[in-house]
Structure 1
Amino acid sequence: MSSTKGKNLYFNDKSMDYVTFGKGKQPLVIIPGLGDGLQTVKGKAQLFSLSYRLLAKRYKVYVFSRINELRQGYTTRDMAADVAEAMETLNLDAAYVMGISQGGMIAQWLAVDFPENVQKLILAVTTAKPSQLARERIEHWQKLSQSGNFKHLMLDIAQHSYTQKSYQKWRFLYNIMGRLGRIKDKKRIAIQSQSCLDHDSLEVIKRIHCPTLVLGALEDDVIGVNGSKELAKAISGCQLLILKHSGHALYEENKAFQEAVCGFLN
């Protein structure tokens, strides 16, 4: 029996939303991407357990949001320290850790600063330092989010995150979501996107020594596939897998993604 729960965590005057699901014993921590700046994982436990069906069969999965009290100048490294504190609060000594996009930036710091917390590391569609392409995308989303144009923001994210084929399929849904939704907290998304722009772990990731898999997407139109390749080059003994027919949202688009993760973790 797998119980799916959404919860709140409190530590050191901070609070964090997280969800947990899955039938396995071994903990797998997932750190989501920049979308977390628009909405935390609150209320999404069911959705995640469906999206990550394959992982839910094998692991006890924890998905952590950023803390609710983000302040100006908060970095991806600060966010990693929060994840480490959250893990400690839940008595998760060591776990498999998967970071996706901005979550991958945070996961890099987690593995550098808190190596004892990370048994194996998966870095999906992420980079050690944003390329020109990534900077343009993030700066554009920053502008759209600050102007409050949620519909344009959602459609732009979808357009660049999915392959053309998938985008046609998802566009309708994103259009509706964009019309119904609104940006709850402009400051939160601004701080998170800024932390991506400032992220630079190139000098330190050579200190990552746990088994690591870098997963890239051939058609990644946000980070760019080279971001994944450079990252893999900088981490010693790291495995690199580039998935074809996949865009930046490869974790949603590609069944091969979860299979690759399971293969690596086993």
Structure 2
Amino acid sequence: MININTVKASDFSMDYFKFGAGPRNMVILPGLSVQSVMGSADAVADAFTMAVNDFTVYTIDRRKELPPEYSVYDMARDTAEVIKQLGLSDIYLFGASQGGMIAMTIAIEYPELVKKLALASTSSHVTDEQFESLNKWIELAKKGDKEGLYLCFGKMVYPSAVFEQFRDYFINSAKTVTDDELRRFIIIANGAQNFNITDKLKEIRCPVMTTGTFEDEVLDSDATMEIAEQLDEEHEFKLYMYTGLGHASFDTAPDYKKRVYDFFME
């Protein structure tokens, strides 16, 4: 069983877990979720088994003490501080969905920390239309409708076959959600509103791989293509688009973790 550790900064603390014993450092920034990925540490480690001899892998959560408003820019600043506190630099940074927004911001604002950047189903900006998807979840969380939130989240993030297969899992998971987790979810989801770093993307100087799916019901496939338009003439940029796997292709594509691993090992 993987232990959860805590980094204490000057005015906040942040949980993380690590696995692997390789000479390179990989950092995973997960996307928005109803409950913290810290509860899935063993599953994450199992998914990246191929990397444990080449990488020491850190998965970093959002901060514990959330202020009433907490933007993606704030998340990036705090995450960068934790990365520094852990003594890491030249990291191989992987961010999915909102985690990808944080990862891009770190690569722009703290270029000395990032050696390579892998992005999944993310966006360099959140339009009003894109935020409508997040707002559906926020409104359910505000109502305290835990089952409705989990089901709506699952239906939008996963392809229909996967959603139906795991419907009972979503319903059962909703029963374990606390009021504090709903409060945190609302703050973190709201943090994506008005996010926009599109005009700064060309400042990223490390190699980048971005992936998406043509059936993204959360951020839309155009979001991935817009990142590609900004970076496709930059040094060592790669794009791959999945079909039929939903927003969470980083979970549903059987080759996804290997694709990230191969990119980082090049």
TM-score category of the 2 structures, normalised to the smaller one: over 0.9
Deviation string, structure 1 residues 176-215 (Cα, Å, up to 9, x no partner): 1123433424432222111112211111111111100111
SS at match of 2:162: helix
Deviation string, structure 1 residues 210-247 (Cα, Å, up to 9, x no partner): 10011101221111111111012112422111122311
- Partner residue, 2:211: 215
CA distance in 1, matches of 2:4, 2:40: 7
- Partner residue, 1:259: 258
Amino acid at match of 2:63: I
- Partner residue, 1:197: 193
SS at match of 2:66: coil
Query: How many percent identity over aligned positions?
Result: 29
CA distance in 1, matches of 2:3, 2:190: 30
CA distance in 1, matches of 2:175, 2:35: 15
Amino acid at match of 1:51: A
Amino acid at match of 2:138: Q
CA distance in 2, matches of 1:58, 1:172: 37
Deviation string, structure 1 residues 123-168 (Cα, Å, up to 9, x no partner): 1100011245521110110101111111110011110111112112
Runs of 4+, deviation exceeding 6 Å: none
**Unaligned residue ranges in structure 2 (runs of 5+):** none
- Partner residue, 1:161: 157
- Partner residue, 2:87: 91
SS at match of 1:126: coil
Which is further off, 225-234 or 66-75? 66-75
Amino acid at match of 1:216: G
Which is further off, 236-245 or 116-125? 236-245
Q: How does 1:88-167 map to 2 (within 5 A)?
A: 88-167=84-163
Contact 1:135 1:197 in 2 (8 A): yes
The CA deviation at 1:117 is 0.3
**Unaligned residue ranges in structure 1 (runs of 5+):** none
- Partner residue, 1:46: 42
- Partner residue, 2:30: 32
TM-score normalised according to structure 2 size: 0.92
